[in-house]
């Protein structure tokens, strides 16, 4: 219920921020040619969409909990494209209203024109960077800081464009609205980039142990700073399945990576992260010593059983995508949950199947069916082989009526998530019952 309310409130707030300048302009009786009016409306809409685009990925917990990180970033990307289209339309309408306005694109144009042109170029850079993102995979941090710098430049230059234009801000209502939009953007960005890293309560933890799970996966166990049962530093409160950004240094420039809390969400439990050492940062985590400090920014996300009511869960996990499922199952076992649950785990080889012993234990505590699927099994494997396809799902799921009452959680590499989502659509599982998380934000 609270989750639905939060979604409603955020949708209304974003809609209001997006449309307020345009509605105010439409309500005014300022005369102007059709092209001029269209140029103003597209410019205003581009500006408010730009502010919303910048605010969305600012890690506001109630926002990421309401829509999930994939949902928030999906809207962020869509709005980014909308801003680019609106800016192009704005320029076209400005020139259509008076062809001599093309001179505003020159380097010797007035300051407002130069700011607008520079903002458009920076926006073009952002779009190019977004398109090239997957080609620059191994340079994620460089990509991220370039993205942040260009986005900051677009915001500042767009603000200067409007301010130096000195036309719209003559109107008191519009001026007030611009101040509110600027305050919204500055407030949220200052909270994201300055206040929370510097003063965020309870964000510092100590490593208690790093436990190897297999050759490539370890579990990092944390404890609140101040001791195992510290009262001055609260332990992390989260819903099972949520994640946090983890840093090894307090500084803002330090690398931050998202990881799901794999531990149960019950009070007093130390937060644990089960991590596959796939790159430089995750390999560093494996070498952490007990007592090393780490900083968490979380919890975030809506990939959790706690925000919805279902008669049972079907969890489908690829590789280390089992972490949110473990958090949910551990928490449900602690709560004495009696509903029937199914867990389908996909791995390359049997050695890569995680938490097998604990899952056997959980099967005794919960009404849980575990189905293991291997992609490259050795001779002698008698379980499922290959993909999570219609044949496998038909063998694991109940009949059409009962399977539509279940909630489906899918997590893992993008290719697995996409193919499972396609199979669930094929089975006509209602879309609101299907939840997914990809371990890849970009």
Ligand X SMILES: Cc1cc2nc3c(=O)[nH]c(=O)nc-3n(C[C@H](O)[C@H](O)[C@H](O)COP(=O)(O)OP(=O)(O)OC[C@H]3O[C@@H](n4cnc5c(N)ncnc54)[C@H](O)[C@@H]3O)c2cc1C
Which residues of the shown chain bind ligand X in the complex (CB under 6 A)?
Answer: 69, 137, 140, 243, 256-260, 273-276, 278-282, 320, 323, 437, 439-442
Cβ 270 to ligand X shortest distance, Å = 16
In terms of DSSP bridges, do strands 204-212 and 434-438 run parallel, antiparallel, or are they unpaired?
unpaired
- Residue 37 CB partners (closer than 8 Å, separation 6+): none
Q: State the maximum Cα–Cα separation within the chain, in Å, rounded to a whole number.
A: 81
Cβ 163 to ligand X shortest distance, Å = 34
Residue nearest to ligand X (CB): 279
Cβ 418 to ligand X shortest distance, Å = 15
Cβ 203 to ligand X shortest distance, Å = 16
Beta-sheet strand order (sheet of 243-247): 256-260, 243-247, 293-300, 204-212, 217-224, 272-276
Residue 280 or 367 having the CB closest to ligand X: 280
Cβ 305 to ligand X shortest distance, Å = 16
Q: How far apart are CA 233 and CA 225, in angstroms?
A: 6
Residue 8 or 414 having the CB closest to ligand X: 414
Given a contact cutoff of 8 angstroms between Cβ atoms, the answer to whether 347 and 375 are in contact is yes
Q: Which two tokens stand for residue 256?
A: 């931050």
Cβ 425 to ligand X shortest distance, Å = 22
Q: How far apart are CA 16 and CA 9, in angstroms?
A: 11
Q: How far apart are CA 332 and CA 265, in angstroms?
A: 9
Residue 159 or 318 having the CB closest to ligand X: 318
Query: Residue 369: left if φ>0, alpha if ψ -120 to 50, beta else—which one?
Result: beta
Cβ 276 to ligand X shortest distance, Å = 4
Residue the block writes with tokens 């200067």: 160
Residue 76 or 339 having the CB closest to ligand X: 76
Residue 256 or 407 having the CB closest to ligand X: 256
Cβ 280 to ligand X shortest distance, Å = 5
User: Which parts of 28-139 fold into alpha helices (H)?
Assistant: 34-55, 61-97, 111-132
Cβ 436 to ligand X shortest distance, Å = 11
Residue 224 or 246 having the CB closest to ligand X: 246
Q: How far apart are CA 54 and CA 159, in angstroms?
A: 13
Residue 117 or 327 having the CB closest to ligand X: 327
Given a contact cutoff of 8 angstroms between Cβ atoms, the answer to whether 365 and 393 are in contact is no
User: Which parts of 223-367 fold into alpha helices (H)?
Assistant: 280-286, 323-335, 356-365
Residue 43 or 318 having the CB closest to ligand X: 318
Residue 259 or 408 having the CB closest to ligand X: 259
Torsion of CA 407, 413, 418, 419, to 10 degrees: -90
Q: How far apart are CA 9 and CA 13, in angstroms?
A: 6
Closest CA to 47 of 171, 145, 180: 180
Residue 394 has a CB neighbour count (10 Å cut-off) of 12
Cβ 384 to ligand X shortest distance, Å = 24
Given a contact cutoff of 8 angstroms between Cβ atoms, the answer to whether 128 and 73 are in contact is no
Residue 114 or 247 having the CB closest to ligand X: 247
Cβ 427 to ligand X shortest distance, Å = 26
Q: What string of DSSP letters covers 350-405?
A: GGG--SHHHHHHHHHHSEEEEEEEESSPPTT--SEES---HHHHHHHS--HHHHTT
Residue 258 or 293 having the CB closest to ligand X: 258
């Amino acid at each position: 219920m609270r989750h639905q309310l939060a979604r409603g409130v955020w949708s209304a707030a974003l809609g209001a921020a997006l449309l307020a300048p345009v509605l105010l302009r439409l309500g005014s009786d300022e005369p102007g040619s059709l092209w001029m009016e269209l140029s103003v409306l597209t410019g205003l809409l581009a500006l408010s969409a730009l502010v919303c685009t910048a605010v969305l990925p600012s890690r506001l917990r109630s926002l990421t909990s309401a829509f999930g990180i994939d949902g928030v970033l999906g809207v962020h990307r869509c709005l980014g494209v909308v801003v680019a289209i609106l800016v192009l339309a704005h320029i076209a309408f400005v020139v259509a209203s008076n062809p001599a306005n093309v001179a505003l694109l020159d380097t010797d144009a007035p300051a407002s024109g130069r700011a607008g042109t520079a903002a458009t170029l920076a926006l073009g850079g952002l779009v190019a960077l977004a398109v090239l993102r997957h080609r620059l995979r191994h340079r994620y941090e460089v990509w991220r800081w370039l993205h942040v710098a260009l986005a900051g430049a677009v915001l500042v230059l767009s603000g200067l464009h409007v301010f130096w234009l000195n036309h719209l801000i003559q109107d008191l209502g519009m001026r007030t609205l611009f101040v509110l939009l600027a305050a919204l953007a500055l407030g949220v960005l200052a909270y994201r980039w300055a206040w929370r890293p510097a003063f965020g309560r309870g964000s510092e933890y100590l490593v208690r142990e790093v436990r190897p799970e297999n050759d490539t996966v370890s579990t990092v166990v944390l404890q609140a700073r101040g001791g195992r049962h510290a009262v001055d530093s609260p332990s992390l409160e989260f819903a099972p399945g949520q994640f946090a950004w983890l840093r090894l240094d307090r500084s803002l420039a330090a690398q931050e990576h998202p990881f799901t809390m794999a531990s149960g969400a019950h009070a007093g439990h130390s937060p644990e992260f089960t991590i596959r050492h796939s790159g430089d940062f995750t390999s560093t985590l494996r070498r952490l010593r007990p007592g090393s400090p780490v900083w968490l920014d979380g919890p975030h996300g809506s990939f959790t059983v706690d925000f919805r009511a279902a008669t049972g869960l079907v969890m489908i996990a690829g590789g280390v995508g089992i972490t949110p499922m473990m958090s949910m199952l551990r928490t449900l076992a602690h709560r004495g949950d009696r509903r029937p649950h199914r867990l389908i785990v996909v791995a390359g080889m049997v050695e890569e199947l995680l938490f097998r012993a604990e899952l056997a234990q959980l099967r005794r505590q919960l009404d849980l069916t575990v189905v293991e699927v291997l992609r490259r099994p050795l001779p002698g494997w008698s379980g499922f082989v290959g993909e999570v396809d219609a044949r496998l799902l038909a063998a694991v799921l109940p009949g059409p009526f009962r399977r539509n009452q279940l909630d489906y959680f899918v997590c893992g590499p993008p290719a697995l998530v996409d193919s499972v989502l396609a199979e669930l659509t094929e089975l006509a599982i209602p879309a609101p019952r299907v939840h997914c998380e990809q371990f890849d934000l970009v």
